[in-house]
Amino acid sequence: QEYSNSTYSNFSEASRAFLTMTMRPWLANFEQQIKNALLVVSPVPGIRYQVEFDSADLLRATPGERFATYERGIKSGVMCPNEAREREGLSPRDGGDEFSQAWKQEVKISEGEKPE
């Protein structure tokens, strides 16, 4: 396919399609072959071994998209700031392991005021 006149968005979508339609079936096949050939049943009940290729780097978003995702994750309490820093290859900072409580905050309305 010709990409000389394509935009970042077009190229990004083409990359996602390549991963989904071409690479993913091969990766799933490799995962299954590795499971069958190398993994044994765990002697400890309830423990399962798993093989999965991490293709997240192949779908890496733009910095703006990544930081917007981190911001939503931190504000909703799904991840802490140090987890976002780790994903970006940055060192942790003091207090960065605290989870946001923004989703638990309440807004008090004085008597006589109407909520908007």
- Give 89-100 pLDDT, tens digit per residue: 899 999 999 987
Which one, of 62, 52, 65, 61, lies nearest residue 24 by Cα?
52
Total structural domains within the chain? 2
Q: CA–CA separation, 29 vs 11, rounded Å?
A: 26
Residue 81 lies in a domain: yes
Task: Verify that 12 and 1 share a domain, yes or no.
Answer: yes
Average pLDDT over residues 70-79: 91
Task: Verify that 49 and 31 share a domain, yes or no.
Answer: yes
pTM: 0.49
Per mean pLDDT, which range of 14-28, 42-56, 63-77 is the poorest?
42-56
Does pLDDT of 1 surpass 60? no
Task: Verify that 19 and 31 share a domain, yes or no.
Answer: yes
Average pLDDT over residues 68-94: 92
What pLDDT score was predicted for residue 33? 93
Structure tokens at 114: 């109407």
Task: Verify that 69 and 30 share a domain, yes or no.
Answer: no
- Give 36-62 pLDDT, tens digit per residue: 888 877 778 888 888 888 887 777 777
Return the H-helix or E-strand segment holding 25: helix 24-38
> Cα–Cα distances in Å, from 42 out to 45, 48, 51?
7, 6, 14
What pLDDT score was predicted for residue 19? 86
End residue of a domain, out of 17, 32, 59? 59
Does pLDDT of 79 surpass 90? yes
Task: Verify that 5 and 27 share a domain, yes or no.
Answer: yes
Domain that residue 30 falls in: 1-59
Residue 114 lies in a domain: no
